A and B are shown apart, each in its own frame.
Chain A
């Protein structure tokens, strides 16, 4: 079932640019420039792009915060802006930089307030809260006012807050921004656990590609307001020719002019006793078999950061 669909979605902003001492020029900038995308129930989609690519703007149009300039958008069968309050009951939103919690109240109070705001039956609320408490280790800081929580604790609170009404879609805008390694891992494994159920649809924007590798089967890359890639991480590697590397340690130096089918020699080090090959075919076995005096080897998966960096740079 298609849960989210966008057709020709656009968002234009007029900005005024200084053009002289008093004069200002109006300029129209398309933050989102015609996006077509559809997301099925249960999908976990990573939405990435450089700063200013239009990620947050798209998310804000999907959640009913911003009115699109053109195009169609539908989430859970609802039109986000006109049916904003109805949609709010079906979605959960975590904006990494904007808190949903009550600053001066203990986390526990924020949660019970949200129960009233979303009109959640007490048993359902209690069951969901219990699950989040155990998965996110909330018990240590449930009674501390939100303003005194660490960022990692607050983010765990935000995630809980977004889930207490049992949304069908969870939108996360940079959920791991600014978190330390341990908190990042806690957030990721929590999201992975949620996604494993297969009911929850998850759309997440991030700059941390480890989030995507851990969580998302599908990756959507946008740049300058347009989709430049939509598919799996493997498809991205295929498309941009990123290959696995084979690093071998040899007992004797590699003979000069050594050629092996299915791989390309990139470099040799340590007087030819260490060599780096880039695999052009999918099998490393053939290459390994043809190497003389092999002592040790390691296979390096292509680095997604490199691929994405290349993607951002290509105009």
Chain B
């Protein structure tokens, strides 16, 4: 018998297929979205030859790592921001009476298949970035190019879940969550040295955004971090992702217990 979660995902696919035209339009407009993220960074390099000591091709590697990690997270977990609607309307009731985890159900019931092409764009941009940079390949670096986007996506996924969970306590949390998810993505698209002071300390290191794309990119390029962190910090993103995921799981569990439903 098929796994219940696979069945849920397949049902979602069939639901989308029942609205064919709008599905195709969605799919294509999403490709445009991802491309724009990358272009925004490239435009910056048009104005100046180097940004915080990083060349255009090095900058491209950073933004491509960030953008692929985010696209992966957005595809698999991004729709958790629809939790707001489920909580506000009480639709979460129907999810909670099924014998499956609430979070996976929510994600699979709304799996944004229209965002799938974003992943393709993300992989292509990363391939280009790896090609234009002169990388000295070692087994560790090959592993890193797989680990970094995956760990980054777990990290972004955790941020998505945490910011969505706020809605359990504060129903009209509005777009506060987007500040951390989309804001976080934009932060990771640039080399960390462009930021300074407490802002850098808080977002890059305390909250861990610096380990998503910047540190792995520095390690891949084999250059010194202008901020002085050793090369192995390129590999800590799985650890950072794990901590973020654990925090997200705690927050989610507490949120479910705090769920109030609506009158009916």
Question: Which residues of A are in contact with B by a Cβ distance under 8 Å?
Answer: 13, 51-52, 56-57, 60, 63-67, 81, 84-86, 88-89, 91, 93, 95-100, 102-105, 109, 113, 116-119, 122, 145, 173-174
Please pick, from A89, A95, A96, the residue contacting B99 in the complex, using a CB distance under 8 A: A89
Given the interface contacts A85-B101, A105-B15, A116-B1, does A98 sit within 8 Å of B264 by beta carbon?
yes
State the total of A-B contacts with C-beta under 8 angstroms.
89
Q: When chains A and B are docked, how far (Å) is the Cα of A84 from the Cα of B93?
A: 12
Return B93 CB to nearest CB of chain A, in Å.
5
Return A114 CB to nearest CB of chain B, in Å.
9
> Could you name 10 residue pairs across A and B whose Cβ atoms are closer than 8 Å?
A63-B97, A85-B101, A93-B97, A95-B94, A95-B97, A96-B264, A98-B264, A99-B94, A113-B11, A145-B18
Residues of A near B91 (CB, < 8 A) are: 98
Interface size on B, as a range, is: 20 to 34
Which residue of A has the minimal Cβ distance to B6? A116
Which residue of B has the minimal Cβ distance to A88? B99
Tell me the chain B residues, 149-165 only, with Cβ under 8 Å from chain A: none
Q: What would 16 more interface pairs be, CB under 8 Å, given A65-B259, A98-B93, A117-B8?
A: A64-B96, A65-B96, A66-B261, A81-B257, A85-B100, A85-B101, A95-B94, A98-B90, A100-B94, A100-B97, A100-B98, A102-B11, A105-B14, A116-B2, A117-B4, A145-B18
Which residue of A has the minimal Cβ distance to B17? A104
Q: When chains A and B are docked, how far (Å) is the Cα of A56 from the Cα of B90?
A: 12
Residues of B near A51 (CB, < 8 A) are: 263
B4:A116 contact, CB within 8 angstroms: yes
Please pick, from A65, A96, A109, the residue contacting B261 in the complex, using a CB distance under 8 A: A65
Q: When chains A and B are docked, how far (Å) is the Cα of A172 from the Cα of B259?
A: 21
A109:B11 contact, CB within 8 angstroms: yes
B263:A56 contact, CB within 8 angstroms: yes
Given the interface contacts A67-B257, A119-B4, A145-B18, does A91 sit within 8 Å of B97 by beta carbon?
yes
B15:A102 contact, CB within 8 angstroms: yes
Given the interface contacts A85-B99, A89-B99, does A95 sit within 8 Å of B15 by beta carbon?
no
The 9 A-B pairs of least Cβ separation, nearest first, read: A88-B99, A116-B7, A104-B15, A93-B97, A117-B4, A65-B96, A98-B94, A85-B99, A97-B264
Please pick, from B6, B101, B259, the residue contacting A66 in the complex, using a CB distance under 8 A: B259
B49 CB-CB contact with A under 8 Å: no
Tell me the chain B residues, 189-213 only, with Cβ under 8 Å from chain A: none
B260 CB-CB contact with A under 8 Å: yes
Residues of B near A64 (CB, < 8 A) are: 96-97
Residues of B near A93 (CB, < 8 A) are: 97
Residues of A near B19 (CB, < 8 A) are: 104
Residues of A near B4 (CB, < 8 A) are: 116-119
B2:A84 contact, CB within 8 angstroms: no
Q: When chains A and B are docked, how far (Å) is the Cα of A145 from the Cα of B16?
A: 13
Residues of A near B259 (CB, < 8 A) are: 65-67
Which residue of B has the minimal Cβ distance to A55? B264
A95:B7 contact, CB within 8 angstroms: no
